[in-house]
Structure 1
């Protein structure tokens, strides 16, 4: 968003307004193939299944490094001398590539195995994430954004497909996916380490303590957003 009239708050609201009609349409256009189950909403025995817990743990580990480049690709591009306006478009490139990353691996999972595609997505995302510092030009950053967008969303589609092997009853699939993604997504709530890295970068101070004030972290993150032009 280049205009200074729209900030973070209204950016989130606009995204919500875009999603609402789409979800509203799907609510009335999609009909369940099977009747709902009569059992309890909460499936307690899911947390006793080793296969389910292992997939949740794998997703948790993948999320550790998956979201870090998404936060810092624009500011990293600016630090490499890229125009701030173009740097802000790199996230759009990541999201455009992620569209194919959610569709194609899901199709391939039916042929090569759901867990295999999930593992491949996690492996490639980790390798590509480590290559971020090698992208120093506009062309290389665009290629990096496309590669990371595709591979990172392979984790999302791969995890969803992997949870489907945990139950033989299709009516339980939504519950397994909801519990699994919630358990894996707990890692996303802990962004303190990424924000602490931003404080170190912009203050040029050694971060020997994790107990820095949240206000200081927020101030530096706002400065980062201002640099990129969001």
Structure 2
């Protein structure tokens, strides 16, 4: 009896010594881990109970041939969808100077690009629920078809309303369906490496935004606008074929039991941190695309750019800068959290927009283009996945992504036309630059609010 008692006393003494050496943060981390383990045990118990309808535990492959092939599929889908969106600065400059010159204003022309970019996100309100219900491959196929159809019709268009319908509506709807299916597929294949996998796939939009503008600038003077766009169409046909060929969802993910829910599920906004984060993304997208749409137009007003072709390559230079912006922050996001990475990115973009006001030379604009490309690249690549930590139920990943991207789309829809109206009414870029910078800064404030509501510790992984 004495020996067991002495062992117990020795164990208690050791635990007291260990407790005295732990800091408050260590104790809090242990408490959080215990709560998570308790939750996991509870989930396992419920899923193993006979006749219970709770969701099963799903472990993503997090690697392997088929998982990385989905990254390739998403890379090509992003090249076709967001690559075209980020190329619109070239179309904006060409339409305003040549094809639609004198017919419509710069603000009206920007509606073509904003409708396209906003629909990529707006369709997420519906495609998120459809993705959760199993209509994934159908989304990808229909999306690729509408993108190719819209690009083909753009090559035949000559009037403003035709560009709105073909390049704005048709390509925007198709890009939204294809992009969301590819993004959701990555979420199904990756868990611990989710952010870096998404970042690599998102570099596809940078790839498209580098090669497409260069092609257009080189081909239009030689073969005309229509055939130049058809050359882009041929490339996108190849991208679509390869992307759909390797598209695949794990069978285990399809086997997850899901509660019946409507396609549009607003109950997800009961999460206060998620709601604040969505508000932040909305405001960021209002201002974030303004520099990308107007950088070439602005460069044409600087004397150093006049008389050479350098202004035509500013969109490609900005896209090149965004490549690292889509990889590095996403790699760090797997360790430190998506919100923790996008807040510095949005703050950097806001500071750069304020600095843009004073840039009046070629060297300064090139540096601005590279740095803003990096900052905006991190924002676009983290737009969907940064909110997933705020939603605990894996069966609602599609709804969480879709509703967030829907409000991103509304922001993208109204942002650039507002900037264009400011420029048209004032004849100066100052108001446009201040508006973009202020929107990005307000978005940072909303994101910080979401982060602190979710967890009061500043460095907590979110």
TM-score by length of 2: 0.40
Instruction: Please state how far the C-alpha of 1:80 moved relative to its aligned partner.
Output: 1.4
CA distance in 2, matches of 1:116, 1:53: 17
* Distance (whole Å) between structure 2 residues aligned to residue 186 and residue 139 of structure 1: 34
Q: Which piece of structure 1 moves more, 129-138 or 145-154?
A: 129-138
Confirm whether residue 195 of structure 1 aligns to residue 417 of structure 2. no
| Residue equivalent to 2:244 | 27
Task: Return the alpha-carbon distance in structure 2 between the equivalents of residues 102 and 31 of structure 1.
Answer: 23
* Residues 16 and 44 (structure 1), Cα distance of their counterparts in 2 relative to 1, 3 Å cut: farther
Distance 2:299 2:290 in 1: 14
Q: Which has the higher contact order (CA 8 A, sep 6+)?
A: 1
Distance 2:425 2:336 in 1: 43
Unaligned runs of 5+ in 1: 204-230
Distance 1:14 1:122, change over 3 A: farther
1:173 and 2:397 matched: yes
RMSD of Structure 2 on Structure 1 (CA): 2.6
Comparing 160-169 and 9-18, the one that deviates more: 9-18
The Cα of 1:51 is off from its aligned counterpart by 2.1
Task: Check whether the contact 1:65–1:126 (CA below 8 A) recurs between aligned residues.
Answer: no
Asked if structure 1 preserves the Cα contact closer than 8 Å seen for 2:274 and 2:391, the reply is no
Q: Closer, same or farther in 2 for the Cα pair 1:20/1:108, shift >3 Å?
A: farther
SS at match of 1:32: coil
CA distance in 1, matches of 2:388, 2:228: 34
Equivalent in the alignment of 1:212 = none
Specify the SS of the correspondent of 2:248. coil
Q: State how far apart, in whole Å, the 1-side matches of 2:366 and 2:243 are.
A: 33
Specify the alignment match of 2:184 in structure 1: none
Q: How many residues align?
A: 202
3-state SS in 2 of match to 1:134:
coil
Give yes or no for the alignment of 1:103 onto 2:320.
no
Bigger radius of gyration: 2
Question: CA separation of 1:86/1:104 partners in 2, compared to 1, >3 Å: closer, same or farther?
Answer: same
Q: Partners in 2 of 1:42 and 1:104 — Cα distance?
A: 33
| 1:100–1:30 Cα change, 3 Å | same
- Whether the 8 Å CA contact 1:109–1:161 is kept in 2: the answer is no
Once the two structures are superposed, the pairs formed by residues 37-186 of structure 1 within 5 Å of their partners are 38=258, 39-40=260-261, 41-81=263-303, 82-83=305-306, 85-186=309-410
- 2-structure distance, mates of 1:53, 1:14: 42
Measured after TM superposition, the shift of residue 15 of structure 1 is 4.9
Structure 2 unaligned segments of length 5 or more: list them.
1-215, 429-462
Shift of 1:10: 6.8
